[in-house]
Amino acid sequence: LADASTFILLLFALALTAFCVFRAQANDNHQAAIVCLNLGLALTISLAVWQFGRRVPEVHLGYFIPIALAAMLWGSVPALVTALGVWAANVVIVANQPGAAPTFYRVEEIVGLLTLGASYVSLAIVVGRFAENLADAVSRSKQNALAAEQAEQQARAYAGELAITLQSEQAHRQEL
């Protein structure tokens, strides 16, 4: 029952995160989308560490944070490099535990490390792509705002020129 409830909590956290992010993007509130993404990732990662960290104790899931930060700040490729570096560091830590031989004897350790490596790469790609798309949306929004401002300035300049032309025409008519 505890496993099912945790799984439901994980799904709920992911669904709530997705809903908040897409709702914020639909309203063109990109800062709120970033905040929702950060909070949702923190909640989901915390729940995953709490539930699944007990099953494979040799794997440290706290390395998700630098990967998520690299993905959000710099994009997919730096996050992928970070993920591979973190995974390699994890392999070295697990292989060189004090009081243990520097080889892998248990299948659980190998499966745990491979699963963790896949989750690192997945996190880097998914969050990195989302952050890149969000950055592109912010850039497009700024460009649209700049274009609208320039169009407004041009319209005001044209309205000024039109007013001057109308005044000169009225003055010319009054002279006649």
Residue-wise pLDDT tens for the chain (176 aa)? 455 666 666 677 777 777 777 777 777 777 777 777 777 777 666 666 666 555 444 556 677 788 888 888 888 888 889 989 988 887 777 777 666 666 656 666 666 677 777 778 878 888 888 888 888 888 898 999 999 999 999 988 888 888 888 888 888 788 76
pTM, two decimals, is: 0.52
**CA–CA gap between residue 67 and residue 81 (Å, rounded):** 9
Q: Is-contact 124 70, C-beta < 8 A?
A: yes
**CA–CA gap between residue 108 and residue 110 (Å, rounded):** 6
**118, two tokens:** 């896949």
Angle, helix 30-52 to helix 2-26, in steps of 10 degrees: 170
